[in-house]
Amino acid sequence: MNNRPPEFIRGLHNLAPHHRGSVVTIGSFDGVHLGHKAIVAQVREQAGRLGLASVAMTFEPQPHEYFSGETAPARLMRVRDKAKALFAAGIDRVLCIAFNRRFSSLSAEQFVQKVLVDGLGAKYLVIGDDFRFGADRSGDYAFLQAAGQRHGFAVTDTETLLLDGERISSTRIRAALEASEFALAERLLGHPYVIKGKVIYGQQLARQWQVPTANVQLHHYRSPLSGVFAVRARLEDGRQYNGVANVGVRPTVGGENRPVLEVHIFDFSDDIYGQELAVEFSHKLREEKKFDSLDELKQQIYRDRDEAKAWFARGA
C-alpha cells in the first residue's frame, strides 16, 4: 500500500517531472469490469514490487467513438466515473488523453516514444492480450517487447478472464444490458450496473400528476439501456429508495436530441436538484413508446409506478 493521493491528469502536456517512472496500463476501461480489475491488480502488484506509481492511461473520446461517431456502441460510464472506479481499484494516476486526428495518426513507434518514453518514463507496462495501438494498429505485444528492450521498460500481458466459458468484455456487458440480463451484467462487472449524474430541472409535467421525477442528463451519445425500469436510487448522503425510471427521448412530449434518465423515487419528496444520483437498474418493465395523448401517457405512468412497486413487493 502507498499513500499517494489519486491524480487525474488530462493530456500529455500536463505531465510533470515527478510523473516519470511508473507502471502503466492502457485501455478504454469502459465499465471497469472484472477483466479490467484483473489487469489493475497486476499493475498494482508490479508497482508495489518496484516502489513506483501505478498509472492507467485512457482516452476521451474512446477510440471507437472517434472513428464511428454517433453509430458507436453505447458507453457504459462517463470519464469521471471511470476515473473514480480505477482509483477505487487501486490505481494511483489516471492519464486521460484526447483521442483526436493528431493523436490517432501517431505510428506505433511514435506512440511509444511520445507517450511511454518521453511522457511517462514507463518502467513496466501491463496490457490486455488483445491490445493494439498505432495508426496502422501494428503495435502489439511483440512490438512492445522489442520497444521495451530498446527503451528500458518491461512488458507483460494478461490472460483473458472468462465467465461461464466466455470472455468478460465491455461488449458482452452491453449485450447483457440491452437484453435486460441485469444479473449477468452484475456478475461481469463485479457490481450492479449503475448510471450516475446530476439532477437537473425538467418540464415538471410528471410533478403535476403527483409522480415527480428527478431528471438526469446523460452525457454521452446514447445509453446501453432504453425503456422503463424498476430501479434503486442512491442519494449523495447514502440513502437508498426504490423507484421507477424511464431512459429515452420522451417522444410523447416533444422528444429530446439525446436520451434523458427520469426517475420517480417512491415515498420521497426532498429537493435534490444539483445533487448526484446513482440509479441501479433491477428489472425492465417495458419499452419506451409514443402515446397519442398526454392523458394516455399519464395513465401509463401510473401503471408503471404500480407495476414497479409490485415487483419490489414480491421481494425480487
Secondary structure of residue 77 in the 3-state scheme: coil
- Nearest of 212, 170, 167, 164 to residue 193 by alpha carbon: 170
Specify which residues 122 forms β-bridges with.
22
The reply to whether 240 and 297 lie within a common domain is: yes
Segments forming the whole domain that contains residue 229: 194-313
Cα 208–chain centre separation: 34
The reply to whether 47 and 141 lie within a common domain is: yes
The reply to whether 21 and 160 lie within a common domain is: yes
Q: What is the CATH number of the domain that holds 100?
A: 3.40.50.620
Whole-angstrom distance, CA of residue 168 vs CA of residue 164: 9
The reply to whether 158 and 198 lie within a common domain is: no
Asked if the structure places residue 237 within a domain, the reply is yes
Cα 14–chain centre separation: 23
Copy the grid coordinates of residue 315. 421481494
Boundary (domain end) residue, out of 150, 166, 182? 166
Whole-angstrom distance, CA of residue 55 vs CA of residue 40: 9
Q: What is the CATH number of the domain that holds 236?
A: 2.40.30.30
The reply to whether 157 and 207 lie within a common domain is: no
The reply to whether 228 and 300 lie within a common domain is: yes
First-to-last C-alpha distance (Å) of the chain: 39
Asked if the structure places residue 178 within a domain, the reply is no
Number of neighbouring beta carbons within 10 Å of residue 3:
4
pLDDT tens track for 85-135: 999 999 999 999 999 999 999 999 999 999 999 999 999 999 988 888 888
pLDDT at 209 over 80: no
Cα 123–chain centre separation: 28
- Judged on CB neighbours under 10 Å (0-12, 13-18, 19+), 185 is buried
- Overall number of domains in the chain: 2
CA distances from 296 to 97, 123, 253 (A): 47, 63, 12
pLDDT confidence bin for 253, thresholds 50/70/90: low
- Nearest of 93, 124, 99 to residue 14 by alpha carbon: 93
Boundary (domain end) residue, out of 118, 146, 166? 166
| pLDDT for 137 | 80
Alpha helix (H) residue ranges in 179-267: 182-189, 205-208
The reply to whether 227 and 91 lie within a common domain is: no
Tell if the pTM clears 0.75, that is, is over it. Answer: yes
Boundary (domain end) residue, out of 166, 181, 204? 166
pLDDT tens track for 304-313: 999 999 999 9
Average pLDDT, the chain: 90
DSSP state of 133: B
